[in-house]
């Protein structure tokens, strides 16, 4: 679940790990974006979105949204667990900082402006930064650009954030699930004169692994691709939005049979 298409990266990770898994993608186009809402408003929309997914009786629920994980995760778990395991999304500050300490490299955290200035992100850095050189980078308009699928808006937002990122950064933590959909563009924008761009630390692979574990199953990437796909828009059965097909993750998911029930 997510307010919009930021859930595609985690959903695609599950699809690759378990091609036989039935997936429910629950987003909230009636209520997005969640970021500018206050905590109470985010909790309300997240609960509605989660309950719509829970009605499909899944084995685990991934909250594929940093904003919802920050503000609504306790409420979601209180409402749905233990019957339904709820897996939140946390920016990968800890592994990125640990690697930076070993190599002496620098880390940047790309996140929405609201997250960049939040006590939540400061706590993550204080608790897991381990003394690494970490630069927060507010990415104005990038999540909205990714949501729209507009190539020019994405290019402009990525470039603007790249210009605020120190040139010698070796690792970039993607602190918004939308950003994982344009990881290659981010890496290229930051490459400069280097042979390769910086390493990117997203969260999709980690939350996929945790979701499979909590669901009591294991990865089986060789399984027959029999899993179907249900898309919910603010609780209504729908199709994948056209913007989702802009991204490889969306095209992978679109290849699955669609459930219209």
Q: Does residue 23 contact residue 256 with C-beta atoms inside 8 Å?
A: yes
Task: Count the Cβ atoms, other than its own, within 10 Å of residue 82.
Answer: 7
d(CA 190, CA 198): 7
| Residue with the two structure tokens 């933590």 | 173
In sequence order, what are the beta bridge partners of 109? Answer: 136, 173
d(CA 203, CA 58): 21
Choose, from 49, 65, 139, 208, the residue flagged as catalytic: 65
Choose, from 49, 139, 176, 208, the residue flagged as catalytic: 176
Q: Does residue 84 contact residue 52 with C-beta atoms inside 8 Å?
A: no
Is 139 a residue of the active site? no
Is 208 a residue of the active site? no
**What is the set of active-site residues?**
65, 176
């Amino acid at each position: 679940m997510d307010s919009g298409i930021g859930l595609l990266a985690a959903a695609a990770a599950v699809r690759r790990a378990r091609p036989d898994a039935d997936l429910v993608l629950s987003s909230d186009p009636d209520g997005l974006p969640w970021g500018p809402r206050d905590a109470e408003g985010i909790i309300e929309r997240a609960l509605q979105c989660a309950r719509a997914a829970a009605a499909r009786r899944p084995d685990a629920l991934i909250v594929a949204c940093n904003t919802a994980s920050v503000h609504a995760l306790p409420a979601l778990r209180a409402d749905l667990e233990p019957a339904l395991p709820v897996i939140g999304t946390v920016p990968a500050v800890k592994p990125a900082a640990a690697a930076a300490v070993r190599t002496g490299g620098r880390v940047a955290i790309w996140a929405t402006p609201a997250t960049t200035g939040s006590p939540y992100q400061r706590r993550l850095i204080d608790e897991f930064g381990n003394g690494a050189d970490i630069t927060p980078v507010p990415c104005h308009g990038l999540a909205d650009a990714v949501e729209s699928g507009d190539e020019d808006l994405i290019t402009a937002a990525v470039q603007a954030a790249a210009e605020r990122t120190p040139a010698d950064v070796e690792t970039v933590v993607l602190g918004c699930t939308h950003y994982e959909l344009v990881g290659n563009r981010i890496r290229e924008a930051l490459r400069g004169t280097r042979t390769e761009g910086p390493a990117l630390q997203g969260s999709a692979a980690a939350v996929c692994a945790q979701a499979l574990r909590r669901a009591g199953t294991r990865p089986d990437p060789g399984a027959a691709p029999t899993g179907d796909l249900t898309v919910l828009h603010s609780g209504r059965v729908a199709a994948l939005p056209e913007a989702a097909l802009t991204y490889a993750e969306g095209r992978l998911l679109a290849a699955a049979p669609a459930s219209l029930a």
